Amino acid sequence: MITELEQTEFKLKLCVFDRDVLPGACVWSIASELIEKRCRRMVVVISDDYLDSSECDFQTKFALSLSPGARHKRLIPVKCKSMKNEFPSILRFITVCDYTNPCTKRWFWIRLAKALMLP
Per-residue pLDDT of the chain (119 residues; tens, 9 = 90+): 999 999 989 889 998 988 988 899 888 899 899 888 888 888 999 999 988 999 888 988 888 888 765 556 678 999 998 999 988 888 888 889 999 999 989 999 999 999 999 87
CATH superfamily of 1-7+41-117: Toll/interleukin-1 receptor homology (TIR) domain (3.40.50.10140)
Please, which residues have CB within 8 angstroms of residue 20's CB and are 6 or more apart in sequence? none
54-93: burial string, b at 16+ Cβ within 10 Å, e else: eebeebbebbbeeeeeeeeebbbbbbeeeeeeeebeebee
CA distance readout (Å), 53 to 37, 47, 100, 114: 23, 10, 22, 28
Q: What integer pLDDT is reported at residue 38 of this predicted model? A: 86
Q: What integer pLDDT is reported at residue 69 of this predicted model? A: 57
Q: What integer pLDDT is reported at residue 6 of this predicted model? A: 92
Q: What integer pLDDT is reported at residue 5 of this predicted model? A: 92
Domain boundaries, the chain: 1-7+41-117
